[in-house]
Amino acid sequence: MHKNFKNILEMKGKEKITVLTGYDSTMVTLCDQVDVILVGDSAGMVMLGYENTSSVTMEDMIRFTTAAKNGRKNSLIVSDLPINSYNTKKDAVENSLKLIEAGADAVKLEGGKEVAEIIKSITEAKIPVMGHLGLLPQTAQKYTVQGKTKDSALELIEDAEIITKSGVFSIVLEMVSSQVAKIITEKISVPTIGIGSGKFCDGQVLVVHDMLGLFEKIKPKFAKRYLSLADEIRNAVKSYTIEVKEQKFPDIENEFQMEESEYNKLRKEIE
């Protein structure tokens, strides 16, 4: 049985929560030991080659969610509501239901007090919601650290408290100064999941392509690389190319042969 949102909620203060993004069944099968697979709209950049997340559609997210669900056995699946899919309560609930039908266990959306009523309407429809505060990639003009001044920090803390009241079961804190992330983590009853927000959060999330060293276009300071998969792939492709050009691949163990007697009959027939 895979995890549910209550399992994640109950981990606060007991055990750190691990989250990785996942958009396809092969990768999700490999990453399924983490607590949560986030079908993030970062798929727009790492899977679809867009510059940012602003062109990602519901159709995209439904397709990636289905693929993620097909690879998962253990983790909770949370899918991002893409930009403009939750502008009204009606849209938010209808689109959340579509992601749940595609295989998500919960949805995530970006924003603070301005989306509090939207979050409430989704949770009232019995769909668990993960919040997202700090840097909001769907609308951000620049990627800068959030909560660096007293006033911006107070606003973030207030937002976290408001959306907790609206019913989120956890909140992603993206690029929030670590002191503010610590205060929020201590103040609210639901787990905080940090990305570039320091070690005091209740859990951590990374984009799997960053973590594996697959995505080379940008390398944020917080995105620790545990592998250099891009180099490994390039080396493998180079070996393959050389072997095909030099006729070393395929070898005898990679091919299929017909029976000698059948082959002889064939030769006779065509000669």
Q: In the complex, what is the shortest distance from the CB of residue 130 to ligand KIV, in angstroms, rounded to a whole number?
A: 9
d(CA 155, CA 57): 30
The reply to whether 60 sits near ligand KIV by the rule CB under 6 A is: no
Selected binder of ligand KIV within 3, 28, 41, 47 (CB under 6 A):
41
Cβ-based neighbours of 110, under 8 Å, separated by 6 or more: 132, 133, 136, 137, 138, 139
Tell me the CA distances in angstroms from 235 to 18, 202, 238, one per residue in order: 30, 38, 5
Q: In the complex, what is the shortest distance from the CB of residue 175 to ligand KIV, in angstroms, rounded to a whole number?
A: 10
Q: How many residues bind ligand KIV (CB under 6 A)?
A: 11
Cβ-based neighbours of 24, under 8 Å, separated by 6 or more: 47, 64, 67, 68, 71
Q: Which of residues 73-102 bind ligand KIV (CB under 6 A)?
A: 80
Q: Which stretch binds ligand KIV (CB under 6 A): 34-42, 58-66, 119-127, 259-267?
A: 34-42
d(CA 216, CA 206): 15
Mask 176-215, x = binds ligand KIV (CB under 6 A)?
-------------------x---------x-x--------
- Active site positions, annotated: 174
The reply to whether 40 sits near ligand KIV by the rule CB under 6 A is: yes
Q: Which is nearer to ligand KIV, 59 or 124 (CB)?
A: 59
Report helix, strand or coil for 85: coil
d(CA 24, CA 82): 17
The reply to whether 172 sits near ligand KIV by the rule CB under 6 A is: yes
Report CA 178 to chain centroid distance, whole Å: 22
Q: In the complex, what is the shortest distance from the CB of residue 248 to ligand KIV, in angstroms, rounded to a whole number?
A: 41
Where on the chain is the footprint of ligand KIV (CB under 6 A)? Answer: 21, 38, 40-42, 80, 172, 174, 195, 205, 207
